[in-house]
Amino acid sequence: MSEKVNGGGAHYAVHWQEEQYVHPPASFIGQANMTDPAVFERFSLDNFPECFKEFADLLDWDQYWHTTLDTSDAPCWKWFVGGKLNASYNCVDRHLAKYKNKTAIHYVPEPEDEPIIHMTYQELYRRVNETAAVLRDFCGLKAGDRVTLQLPMTPELPITMLACARLGVIHSQVFAGFSGQACGERIWDSGSNILITMDAYYRNGKLLDHKAVGDIAVEVAKKEGQQVDKVLIWQRYPGKYSSNAPLIEGRDYFMNDLLKQYARTIVEPVSMPAEGILFLMYTSGSTGRPKGVQHSIGGYLSYVAWMSKVIQDIHPEDVYWCMADIGWITGHSFIVYGPLAIAASTVIYEGLPTYPDAGRVWRIAEELGVNIFHTSPTAIRGFRKSGPDEPAKYNYNFKHMTTVGEPIEPEVWKWYYNVVGKGKAVVVDTWWQTETGGFLCSTVPGISPMKPGSAGPGVPGIHPVILDNEGNEIPAGAGKAGNICIRNPWPGLMQTIWKDRDRYVSTYYGKYCKDPNSKDWRDWPYMAGDAAVVSADGYVRILGRVDDVINVAGHRLGTKEIESAALTIEEVAEAAVIAAKDEIKGTVPDLYVSLKPGCQASDELAVKISNAVSTVVGKIARPRNVHIVPDMPKTRSGKIMRRVLASISNRGDVGDVTSLANPDVVEKIRKQVQG
Ligand code: 6R9
């Protein structure tokens, strides 16, 4: 197991400074969308599941539902059964009457001499319709088909997602920074025969060739048995091709050319069942291939809309900036679907927060008048390091800030609050996952006080519980860590894993469901895979993953994926990756490998192994170090002791290793790594 946090009841000492409350300013409460503490009563388990009607009522339905929650196929929950709606209609069309001239998307390109685009709801409507026309009439796509997108951070990404949603087509967006190999596997798993990509995009001052990545993806998918018939290419500069990759006739098409035939075409939104599938989002699990997390239309959209309104506290007149990439769940839920469902103005930016300099983010905030800001601990640590005094130089005013993706140290939280927020903004620390669609734990900013380093209680409608390894509840305030579970299902929860119901059931319910035939939701606590402690006031502190997943800069990477990549190198006999502590990124992968007999360790070989990881998985998975060791520390039954390797990387205590099959190797590795 990689840096395993004990989820089975280890004692957790709470430091005094982690238990301080910080109260939201009156100026925030005065304008907040939700200030009534009765909301928690309204969403108590006594009112479950009917309380979630309040979520669904934020949407426009073509046909109202008859059953709030159907549990007959437990644990594949069906929400708002009988209801029909369209997600694209809810995010665009319905706002036109009131907001057609309001900005839907502010787009900030990386080169600072390129103009910022302020796309109105009317313009978004036109572009979504025309794109949907291409997908329907040129590609022949229809409801239920899957399409893989590997688009960078440009407006064409949300436009393409909404065009799919308009037709009931299931989109599967793969993070643009992922390798062609990783994208190809996801094309294959989802069974897409269309890939939508872009020729190039900017990052760190360079225009990266992205079409070439798509070509590899198509080849990989083909080898796996999935034919891609068409590759649609958006152009970073419409009318100009910014890639060196050759175009394949009859397969590759420029969107810009296709769209000409569909100018001003209106595509009627397809009325979809609430339980239809909106999108797939692949995420890393502990074993094997990444899993296609499957999200519904009605349940998911109503969940993210309510959370955007109540936890993000977005009003139509706000300028809201979530710095995540839309290729991750945070971007799907809290850049695109949630904010647009409630007629927000949402900011998208290309490139890095610190390029060309540490002032970029605050300059954008000032120029656009951003007042709600959303980012990750890794980004905050980076801001603090590269420009600790930078925010004060800019004239922006945040009233609300979010942190998401990994635990935030109380010290980092305080810098965020005092320096970025200038002591005037509330902070919500939102804990949730790809699988959960939207937030699980967070304070309600207009009601509850904040506690640095603690996500807070369950959001309204979410009832967390901490269980030990035997399934006993660890009471709040016991100071003991355990596995955090949610007692009840909720509308934003994934429907299943695409094509793999068994994996869905075993991963999230295998440990704690006592009766797999039960149709009662009370028998199916959802196990998140994180260790946590709850203090006496019900505030949850997340400690980290309990499975073989490494959280690098807020992104989930499966240790198995990284290790399999290392094993593609001929000389490598065994590979083990662990999470090493990092000042900025929280944790980063450290890779240990042993070689086949007769093979020699060398710097070149280490580089070759490292390159294999970035080619197969993606650059974000590149190991900090590749340690070529004489042998792996192993138990007598032959299991690699990743815990021991993690202690060596993190300069901690390796503990008692005398029961290992090869205790002597531990000291050799320690000397090699620590010097
Ligand atoms: C939204 C997102 C999920 C994993 C999750 C946990 C970690 C997310 C956190 C947090 C502490 C927070 N995580 N938010 N840990 N505090 N506020 O990040 O989804 O990419 O699926 O990752 O991230 O370990 O289990 P995803």
> Residue 256's Cα: distance from chain center in Å?
30
- Ligand 1 atom closest to 544 (CA): 24
Query: What is the chain's mean pLDDT, rounded?
Result: 94
Range of lowest pLDDT (7-16, 60-69, 100-109, 546-555): 7-16
Query: Is the shortest distance between the CB of 284 and ligand 1 below 6 Å?
Result: no
Domain 557-674 has CATH 3.30.300.30: yes
Query: Going by CA atoms, what residue is nearest to atom 18 of ligand 1?
Result: 405
8 Å CB contact between 319 and 368 = yes
Ligand 1 centroid distance, CA of 619 (Å): 20
Ligand 1 centroid distance, CA of 622 (Å): 20
Average pLDDT over residues 436-457: 97
Ligand 1 centroid distance, CA of 627 (Å): 28
Q: Euclidean distance between the first and final Cα of the chain, in Å?
A: 25
What local confidence, expressed as pLDDT, does residue 288 receive?
62
- Ligand 1 atom closest to 430 (CA): 17
Per-residue pLDDT tens for 347-356?
999 999 989 9
Average pLDDT over residues 405-411: 88
What local confidence, expressed as pLDDT, does residue 14 receive?
54
Per the structure block, which two tokens stand in for 121? Answer: 């709801």
Alpha helices by DSSP H, 343-465: 360-368, 377-386, 410-415
Token pair 């929860």: residue: 493
- Does ipTM exceed 0.95? yes
Per the structure block, which two tokens stand in for 264? Answer: 């001003």
Per-residue pLDDT tens for 320-343?
999 999 999 999 999 999 999 999
Ligand 1 centroid distance, CA of 405 (Å): 4
Give the residue, out of 300, 530, 540, 557, with the most ligand 1 atoms within 8 A of its beta carbon, to mutate for a pocket test.
530
What local confidence, expressed as pLDDT, does residue 13 receive?
55
Residue type for position 317 = E
Q: Assign 18 a pLDDT band (cuts: 50, 70, 90).
A: low
Per-residue pLDDT tens for 79-89?
999 999 999 99
Ligand 1 centroid distance, CA of 556 (Å): 8
Ligand 1 centroid distance, CA of 18 (Å): 19
Burial 366-404 (b: 16+ CB within 10 A, else e): eebebbbbbbbbbbbbbbbeebeebbeeeebebbbbbbb
What local confidence, expressed as pLDDT, does residue 4 receive?
40
- CB-based burial label for 520 (10 Å; 0-12, 13-18, 19+): exposed
Per-residue pLDDT tens for 632-659?
898 776 778 888 999 999 999 888 888 7
Ligand 1 centroid distance, CA of 334 (Å): 14
What local confidence, expressed as pLDDT, does residue 1 receive?
30
8 Å CB contact between 258 and 138 = yes
Residue type for position 42 = R
8 Å CB contact between 536 and 498 = no
Other Cβ atoms within 10 Å of 189 Cβ, number = 23
Q: Assign 5 a pLDDT band (cuts: 50, 70, 90).
A: very low
Query: Going by CA atoms, what residue is nearest to atom 5 of ligand 1?
Result: 433
Range of lowest pLDDT (198-212, 482-496, 548-562): 548-562
Query: What's the Cα-to-Cα distance from 297 to each of 2, 86, 161, 302, rounded to whole Å?
Result: 35, 8, 13, 8
Ligand 1 centroid distance, CA of 471 (Å): 23
Please enumerate in sequence order all residues whose Cβ is within 8 A of that of 529, keeping only pairs 6 or more positions apart, or say none: 433, 483, 507, 545, 546, 547, 549
Give the residue, out of 295, 533, 542, 552, with the most ligand 1 atoms within 8 A of its beta carbon, to mutate for a pocket test.
542
Query: Is the shortest distance between the CB of 541 and ligand 1 below 6 Å?
Result: no
Average pLDDT over residues 162-189: 96
**Strands 230-234 and 194-198: what pairing?**
parallel
Per the structure block, which two tokens stand in for 187? Answer: 């094309």
Nearest-angstrom CA–CA distance, 176 and 214: 10
Ligand 1 centroid distance, CA of 284 (Å): 12
Query: Is the shortest distance between the CB of 332 and ligand 1 below 6 Å?
Result: no
Ligand 1 centroid distance, CA of 404 (Å): 7
What local confidence, expressed as pLDDT, does residue 552 receive?
86
Residue type for position 675 = G
- Residue in 529, 583, 588 with CA at minimum distance from that of residue 555: 588
Per the structure block, which two tokens stand in for 357? Answer: 């300099």
pLDDT above 80: residue 198: yes
What local confidence, expressed as pLDDT, does residue 564 receive?
85
8 Å CB contact between 147 and 169 = yes
Query: Is the shortest distance between the CB of 429 and ligand 1 below 6 Å?
Result: yes
Per the structure block, which two tokens stand in for 108? Answer: 């900030």
Residue type for position 479 = G
pLDDT above 90: residue 17: no
Give the residue, out of 280, 293, 311, 433, with the most ligand 1 atoms within 8 A of its beta carbon, to mutate for a pocket test.
433
DSSP state of 336: I
Ligand 1 centroid distance, CA of 257 (Å): 40
Average pLDDT over residues 433-452: 97
- Ligand 1 atom closest to 283 (CA): 21
Ligand 1 centroid distance, CA of 632 (Å): 30
| Model pTM score | 0.91
Give the residue extent of every domain in the chain.
Answer: 557-674
Per-residue pLDDT tens for 364-382?
999 999 999 999 998 998 8
- SS3 of residue 383 by DSSP: helix
Per the structure block, which two tokens stand in for 132? Answer: 């949907």
Give the residue, out of 404, 416, 427, with the most ligand 1 atoms within 8 A of its beta carbon, to mutate for a pocket test.
404
Average pLDDT over residues 261-271: 97
- Per cent of the chain over pLDDT 90 is 84
- Ligand 1 atom closest to 549 (CA): 24
DSSP 276-306: SEEEEEEE--SSSSPEEEEEESHHHHHHHHH
- Residue in 400, 447, 444 with CA at minimum distance from that of residue 306: 444
Range of lowest pLDDT (188-197, 370-379, 529-538, 542-551): 542-551
What local confidence, expressed as pLDDT, does residue 16 receive?
52
Range of lowest pLDDT (39-48, 113-122, 369-378, 540-549): 540-549
Query: Is the shortest distance between the CB of 374 and ligand 1 below 6 Å?
Result: no
Query: Is the shortest distance between the CB of 532 and ligand 1 below 6 Å?
Result: no
Residue type for position 260 = K
Q: Cα angle at 556 between 583 and 596, to 5 degrees?
A: 90
Give the residue, out of 380, 551, 620, with the most ligand 1 atoms within 8 A of its beta carbon, to mutate for a pocket test.
551
Nearest-angstrom CA–CA distance, 294 and 275: 11
Residue type for position 187 = I
The C-alpha R_g of the chain, in whole angstroms, comes to: 24
Query: Going by CA atoms, what residue is nearest to atom 12 of ligand 1?
Result: 431
Nearest-angstrom CA–CA distance, 118 and 115: 9
8 Å CB contact between 402 and 374 = yes
Nearest-angstrom CA–CA distance, 347 and 319: 7
pLDDT above 70: residue 299: yes
Average pLDDT over residues 93-97: 98
Which DSSP helix (H) or strand (E) runs through 603?
helix 603-616
- Ligand 1 atom closest to 455 (CA): 17
pLDDT above 50: residue 359: yes
Please enumerate in sequence order all residues whose Cβ is within 8 A of that of 663, keeping only pairs 6 or more positions apart, or say none: 633, 657
The answer, yes or no, to whether the previous bond of 75 is cis (omega within 30 of 0) is: yes
Ligand 1 centroid distance, CA of 432 (Å): 5
What local confidence, expressed as pLDDT, does residue 462 receive?
98
Query: What's the Cα-to-Cα distance from 640 to each of 224, 571, 633, rounded to whole Å?
Result: 30, 18, 6
DSSP state of 101: T
Ligand 1 centroid distance, CA of 629 (Å): 32
Alpha helices by DSSP H, 229-373: 255-260, 298-310, 329-331, 338-341, 360-368
- Ligand 1 atom closest to 328 (CA): 20
Alpha helices by DSSP H, 118-254: 121-133, 156-167, 180-190, 211-224
Alpha helices by DSSP H, 486-539: 501-509
Phi (first) and psi of residue 623, to 5 degrees:
-65, 145
Nearest-angstrom CA–CA distance, 15 and 5: 18
Per the structure block, which two tokens stand in for 219? Answer: 């080849």
Helices 156-167 and 121-133 pack at an angle, to 10 degrees, of: 60
8 Å CB contact between 69 and 489 = yes
Average pLDDT over residues 52-81: 98
Query: Is the shortest distance between the CB of 430 and ligand 1 below 6 Å?
Result: yes
Per-residue pLDDT tens for 112-166?
999 999 999 999 999 999 999 999 999 999 999 999 999 999 999 999 999 999 9
- Residue in 406, 449, 411, 397 with CA at minimum distance from that of residue 428: 449
Ligand 1 centroid distance, CA of 596 (Å): 37
What local confidence, expressed as pLDDT, does residue 618 receive?
87
Query: Is the shortest distance between the CB of 412 and ligand 1 below 6 Å?
Result: no
> Residue 370's Cα: distance from chain center in Å?
22
pLDDT above 80: residue 287: no
Query: Going by CA atoms, what residue is nearest to atom 15 of ligand 1?
Result: 406
8 Å CB contact between 474 and 265 = no
Query: Is the shortest distance between the CB of 3 and ligand 1 below 6 Å?
Result: no
Query: Going by CA atoms, what residue is nearest to atom 14 of ligand 1?
Result: 405
8 Å CB contact between 468 and 485 = no
Ligand 1 centroid distance, CA of 529 (Å): 10
The answer, yes or no, to whether the previous bond of 491 is cis (omega within 30 of 0) is: no
Nearest-angstrom CA–CA distance, 311 and 332: 16
pLDDT above 50: residue 444: yes
Query: Going by CA atoms, what residue is nearest to atom 22 of ligand 1?
Result: 433
The number of C-alpha atoms within 13 Å of 586 and in the hemisphere containing its C-beta is: 23
- SS3 of residue 573 by DSSP: strand
Ligand 1 centroid distance, CA of 281 (Å): 15
Other Cβ atoms within 10 Å of 410 Cβ, number = 16
Q: Assign 630 a pLDDT band (cuts: 50, 70, 90).
A: very high
8 Å CB contact between 335 and 346 = yes
Ligand 1 centroid distance, CA of 374 (Å): 14
pLDDT above 50: residue 3: no
Ligand 1 centroid distance, CA of 645 (Å): 24
What local confidence, expressed as pLDDT, does residue 409 receive?
85
